[in-house]
Chains A and B, each alone.
Chain A
Amino acid sequence: DVKVTQSSRYLVKRTGEKVFLECVQDMDHENMFWYRQDPGLGLRLIYFSYDVKMKEKGDIPEGYSVSREKKERFSLILESASTNQTSMYLCASSSGVSRNTEAFFGQGTRLTVV
């Protein structure tokens, strides 16, 4: 059974903290993604990676960075958490959506910044 695992389902952090959200996939996928989900805004792409150590900015990268040191792991980093980063964060992986495969998602991390 294919799996994308996010390290936490719920997380509460203080303003100014450095926050790490971890995502691991066991499908040997090249592509990994971080999305942010907010009510009324849908899912918005923060960053994606198409190979180890490779990354590209998505639509809303400000305040975030990423790390992909190994193929199976993609980390999202909030350098200095702020209350407007309170949201649901979804990780996804794929071997090629445009090659008739699908993207698989983790169960999300609901982050609250206080």
Chain B
Amino acid sequence: AQTVTQSQPEMSVQEAETVTLSCTYDTSENNYYLFWYKQPPSRQMILVIRQEAYKQQNATENRFSVNFQKAAKSFSLKISDSQLGDTAMYFCAFCLFGNEKLTFGTGTRLTIIP
């Protein structure tokens, strides 16, 4: 079975600073996908970024980027120039290729301080 671990239950950072959220996972498979989801106070889960395991290049979406280390099974999210609207729960998730089930980590509550 696959597992996803987020070791930082809570983090806070000043507005405009850069913050990195950690995620590690465990799998014996080679083909899979990794995701970061954001859940703001509205409770609406929003996909932030995804990474295909077969791609060596790290995914980026505007201020959001990942550091994907396949050998280390690590998938961290970097948020640059953080904004108040980034305040949310962030979940790391894993999905095997050909399998639609997402396995989530326990989440990191991120607070951006004005």
Contact = CB atoms under 8 A, between A and B. Distances in A.
Contacts of B35: 102
A25 interface: no
Interface of A: 31, 33, 35, 40-45, 48, 50, 58, 88, 90, 92, 94, 96-98, 100, 102-103, 105, 107-108
A109 to B, nearest CB: 10
Contacts of A94: 100
B42 interface: yes
A48 B9 contact: no
Contacts of B103: 45
Contacts of A43: 91, 102, 104
B contacts with A: majority SS = loop
Contact of B104 (A42, A50, A96): A42
Interface of B: 4, 6, 9, 33, 35, 42-45, 47, 50, 52, 91, 95-107
Contacts of A42: 4, 6, 91, 104-107
Contact of B44 (A40, A41, A107): A107
A98 B106 contact: no
Contacts of A88: 43
Greatest chain B CB density within 10 A among A41, A50, A102, A103 is at A103
20 contacts: A33-B101, A40-B9, A41-B106, A42-B91, A43-B91, A43-B102, A48-B101, A88-B43, A92-B102, A96-B100, A97-B33, A97-B102, A98-B98, A102-B35, A102-B47, A103-B47, A103-B100, A105-B45, A107-B42, A108-B43
A43 B102 CA distance: 9
Ranked nearest first, the 5 interchain pairs of A and B with the lowest CB-CB distance are A105-B45, A43-B104, A42-B106, A42-B104, A108-B43
A15 B99 CA distance: 35
